Amino acid sequence: MQDKPPKRFTKFSEDHPAVAKAYSALGDAVHHAGPLDEKSRALVKIAISGASRQEGGFHAHVRKARLLGISKEEMQHVVLLTLPTLGFPTMMMLLAWIDDVFDKK
């Protein structure tokens, strides 16, 4: 399974290659700026995109985490941890978004 960038991002990268390159470099820099390992960073990205209700970003981070071998159960646990802060409806929405990725054929 390989994660392909969304068509919109691919087009953006083609239309604005210098900006896309800078954006990628920024992402690399922040990923390596601290002590978190790759798995921890992936789970944090799921939490951040879920808390900010960025559906496309959340799906992308779930797909990337899956490619790293992070289990559906681990991702669901991250979402369960959002319950006290974000509330039941948001938590349920995020669980459904995880299912969107895992149930996609």
Q: What is the pLDDT of residues 60-84, one digit of tens each?
A: 999 999 999 999 999 999 999 999 9
34-47 pLDDT, tens digit per residue, is 999 999 999 999 99
Residue 16 lies in a domain: no
User: Which burial class, exposed, middle or buried, applies to 75 when counting CB atoms under 10 A from its CB (0-12, 13-18, 19+)?
Assistant: buried
Q: How far is it, in rounded angstroms, from Cα 6 to Cα 77?
A: 26
State the pLDDT confidence band at 5, using cuts at 50, 70 and 90: confident
In this structure, what CATH number is given to the domain that contains residue 48? Answer: 1.20.1290.10
Instruction: Tell me if 97 sits within 8 A of 62, measured CB to CB.
Output: yes
pTM: 0.87
Residue 26 lies in a domain: no
